[in-house]
Structure formats: structure tokens, C-alpha cells
């Protein structure tokens, strides 16, 4: 059965359409520091308002543990969404209470409302399906149809993602359609050469995706904190660099499997080693197999790939037809250790085929480093959902919409 799309919902003029967005943006003292997920939600909302629908947007933000917490309020998101839409967005200060009901009932065709953080109600993420269904029924009472457009949560069996889709006529939004289309291109007969670039802190976070993609890729480039576990697996001393000790045998297995399959598993030849984890720390470039030969000795801390590696990675990326990148190459938040991530991002903008920034920290990194989403083939909003798709796991939020 094919994924149900907005067309399957028929004429939406005058209908109240609940749209599950992923508006989980970073906030600092109530200020949005990256509005990428809000911008990604605009297209579907605009399509629905132009069709005369009354749009009720819902989302989570952060992890407020099932109770209202002002620092996780979606009020700033409502303001920013209104700016992007060029129209006021009515904000309800609760989720299924009297305020939400009044706001939803007061909408006119073409207008948009945003309800307060779904996770202010513990039933949204409850492991008890009866509690989730009760919460979903309260939400469903506000709408005539449901559009699922928060790709970042489709791997979760949560009330607003799974149960709500069963209670109303439901379909995938355009963002979910786009994400799914890109991920299918990465997994079903991808154009060659196919390069996957993995970073981030721990190997254990990427086990599934490495298992799934090793048989499909031509090159696997390893950076970020996880690279040091690979170096340690080869017998190199890594000082106080991040080590996922429990995965050493697994990593040795990956190195062997890559060799057997003819996959080029590329590890850094040089790294940036610092005296401590701080922006003003002393740091030097060292050969990847000589980290403890720096002035910091066994106290040295690897915080980025080195310039030689960055150049090599960039060359491999630019010469590929398909590239998937997930996880920064270093501690990009600290300027002295951002060069490796910036080099990978720059190279990805030059890919003539399909270059995908795999959401999460990678998407945050490219924006923080001054890149724009339209410079890349695709910037995913998915993060964990994208990785689980690539791993071949079941995604309940898609299956409930007819996808197989």
C-alpha cells in the first residue's frame, strides 16, 4: 500500500486540519537560535491554508517530562511561524483544554493556530497505548482530518504521531513525502560512487546505520569523536580522546568487513589535539597514530579531524554521485575545532549528484557555520528517524499512513 498524501483527503475547504509538525527548535532564554524546522514546516501549512483549511498545528519541544514548563513553551515558535507565513498564528496556552478548544473553534478558513507543547501532557509519550489513545481522542475532537508532517518523530509510537492518525482521515504532509523520497534514493539503487560520512561522538549511536550501509556504499568516511574508537581498535594510543571501549571488537569487525567487501573505510590521517576541552585551549595538529607524541602527552584530547584529512575527505565527497553525511567532524561549537566540519559541509555543496545533510547536529552545524539549506541537495529534519530508516527499522508513524 502506498503512502497516503494530502490529495487523498479530498476537498479541505472549511475543514479543520490538524498538522503534526516537528517544531522542536533550540531555544536560549526564549530566543530561537535555529529556525530550520519551522521553515521546513511552512510549505505544507501554506498549501493547506490556500486550500481553505483551518490549520491547527501541533508539536513537541524539548523534554518537559509531562508537565508544563515555561522554558519549553511553543509561544516563541508561534511568533516565528507567523512571521514566516506572513499572517498571525493564534497560540493556545494549553493543549487539549478550554483555551485550545476555543482557539480551534474560532479559526476561519485560511487561518492557523498552534497549540501548546504536546509533551506538557505525559500521555503523549506514555508507554500505555490506552493513555496515548485517550490523549489522541482529545486532540482529534478539534479536527476533521490529520496531516503528519513531522518527519523527526515518525519513528516514535506517540499519541500525536500514531494514534491520532488512526482516529481521523490521515495523510503525509509534503515534508514527510520529501524526506521519504530522499531516503529511498539513498537506500534503493543509489547512484555511484556512494559515500557515507559519519561523525558524532559515539560509535554505539551509529552501529545500525554502519551495519545497514556497509554493503551498499563505496566509501565510508569516519570522523568526530567516534574516530578515536577506530584508531584505538587499530592499536593506536589516543590520550584522553573519547573512547567507546565496549565497541572495540565491533569496530575491528567493521574494518575487516569493509576490506572483504572492497569498501574504502577512510580514517583520518591527522587530528587536532587539545590540552583540554575549551575554546581557548592550547592545540596542535598531530598524526592520527601519534596523538600522545604532542606536548600534551597522554593528556591530549582529540577534538577535530586535521587539515590533511579535511582536504582528503573533501576530495572524496566532491567526486561522489551520492553522499550521506551524519554527525559533525569535531567540536564545531568551539571555533578552533570547527574546520573539519566546515570542510565537509563545503564539499557537500559541490556534489553534482545527491548530497544529503542527515539532520540533527549536522543540520545545526551547517547553519551555525554560515551555510544555507538551499546550498545542499537536501537537509534532513529527521536525525534519529533518518538513521532508523536507513537501518531498515519499522517506522510506526509512516506505516500508519500506509507506507510499506
Binding-site residue ranges: 22-24, 37, 60-63, 119, 156, 206, 302, 333, 359-362
213 alpha-carbon distance from chain centroid:
18
Residue with cell 592520527: 288
274 to 232, 243, 327, 392: CA distances (angstroms):
18, 16, 20, 38
Burial of 378 (0-12, 13-18, 19+ CB in 10 A): buried
Long-range contacts of 105-108 (CB under 8 A, 24+ apart): 107/16, 107/54, 107/55, 107/56, 108/54
3-class SS of residue 278 = coil
Peptide bond into 193 cis (omega under 30): yes
Give the span between the Cα atoms of 223 and 357, in whole angstroms.
15
172-194 burial, b for 16+ CB within 10 Å, e for fewer? bbbbbbbbbebbebbeeebeebb
Give the span between the Cα atoms of 38 and 31, in whole angstroms.
14
First to last CA, the chain: 6
Q: What residue numbers does the annotated binding site for substrate cover?
A: 22-24, 37, 60-63, 119, 156
Q: What residue numbers does the annotated binding site for ATP cover?
A: 206, 302, 333, 359-362
- List residues bridging with 283 in a β-sheet: 274
Using DSSP bridges, classify how beta strands 54-58 and 112-115 pair: parallel, antiparallel or unpaired.
Answer: parallel
Active site residues: 37, 202, 360, 384
**Left if phi > 0, otherwise alpha if psi is -120 to 50, otherwise beta: which for 376?**
beta
Cβ 309 vs Cβ 287: under 8 Å: no
Residue 173 CB partners (closer than 8 Å, separation 6+): 6, 19, 44, 147, 148, 149
321: its cell numbers: 554521485
285 to 147, 198, 228, 305, 311: CA distances (angstroms):
50, 21, 15, 9, 14
Amino acid at each position: 500500500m502506498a503512502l497516503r498524501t494530502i490529495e487523498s483527503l479530498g476537498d479541505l475547504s472549511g475543514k479543520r486540519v490538524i498538522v503534526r509538525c516537528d517544531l522542536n527548535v533550540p531555544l536560549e532564554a526564549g530566543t530561537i537560535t535555529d529556525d530550520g524546522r519551522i521553515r521546513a514546516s511552512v510549505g505544507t501549512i501554506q498549501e493547506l491554508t490556500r486550500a481553505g483549511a483551518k490549520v491547527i498545528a501541533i508539536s513537541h519541544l524539548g523534554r518537559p517530562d509531562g508537565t508544563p514548563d515555561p522554558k519549553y513553551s511553543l509561544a516563541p515558535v508561534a511568533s516565528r511561524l507567523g512571521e514566516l507565513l506572513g499572517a498571525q498564528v493564534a497560540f493556545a496556552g494549553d493543549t487539549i483544554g478550554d483555551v485550545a478548544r476555543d482557539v480551534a473553534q474560532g479559526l476561519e478558513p485560511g487561518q492557523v493556530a498552534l497549540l501548546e507543547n504536546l509533551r506538557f501532557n505525559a500521555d503523549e509519550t506514555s508507554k500505555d497505548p490506552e493513555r496515548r489513545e485517550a490523549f489522541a481522542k482529545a486532540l482529534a475532537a478539534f479536527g476533521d482530518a490529520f496531516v503528519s508532517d513531522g518527519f523527526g518523530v515518525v519513528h516514535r509510537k506517540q499519541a500525536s504521531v500514531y494514534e491520532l492518525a488512526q482516529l481521523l482521515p490521515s495523510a503525509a504532509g509534503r515534508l514527510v513525502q520529501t524526506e521519504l523520497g530522499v531516503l529511498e534514493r539513498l537506500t534503493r539503487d543509489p547512484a555511484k560512487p556512494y559515500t557515507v560520512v559519519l561523525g558524532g561522538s559515539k560509535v554505539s549511536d551509529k552501529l545500525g546505520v554502519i551495519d545497514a550501509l556497509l554493503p551498499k556504499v563505496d566509501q565510508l568516511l569516519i570522523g568526530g569523536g567516534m574516530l578515536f574508537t577506530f584508531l584505538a581498535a587499530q592499536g593506536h594510543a589516543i590520550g584522553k580522546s573519547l573512547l567507546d571501549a565496549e565497541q572495540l571488537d565491533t569496530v575491528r569487525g567493521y574494518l575487516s568487513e569493509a576490506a572483504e567487501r572492497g569498501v574504502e573505510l577512510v580514517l583520518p590521517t591527522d587530528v587536532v589535539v587539545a590540552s583540554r576541552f575549551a575554546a581557548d585551549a592550547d592545540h596542535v595538529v598531530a598524526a592520527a597514530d601519534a596523538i600522545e607524541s604532542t606536548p600534551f602527552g597522554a593528556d591530549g584530547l582529540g577534538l577535530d579531524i586535521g587539515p590533511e584529512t579535511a582536504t582528503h575527505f573533501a576530495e572524496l565527497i566532491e567526486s561522489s554521485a551520492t553522499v550521506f553525511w551524519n554527525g559533525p567532524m569535531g567540536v564545531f561549537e568551539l571555533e578552533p575545532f570547527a574546520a573539519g566540519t566546515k570542510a565537509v559541509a563545503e564539499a557537500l555543496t559541490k556534489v553534482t549528484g545527491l548530497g544529503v545533510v542527515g539532520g540533527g547536529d549536522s543540520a545545526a552545524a551547517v547553519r551555525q557555520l554560515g551555510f544555507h539549506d538551499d546550498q545542499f541537495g537536501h537537509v534532513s529534519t529527521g536525525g534519529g528517524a533518518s538513521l532508523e530508516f536507513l537501518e531498515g527499522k519499522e517506522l510506526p508513524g509512516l506505516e500508519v499512513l500506509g507506507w510499506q
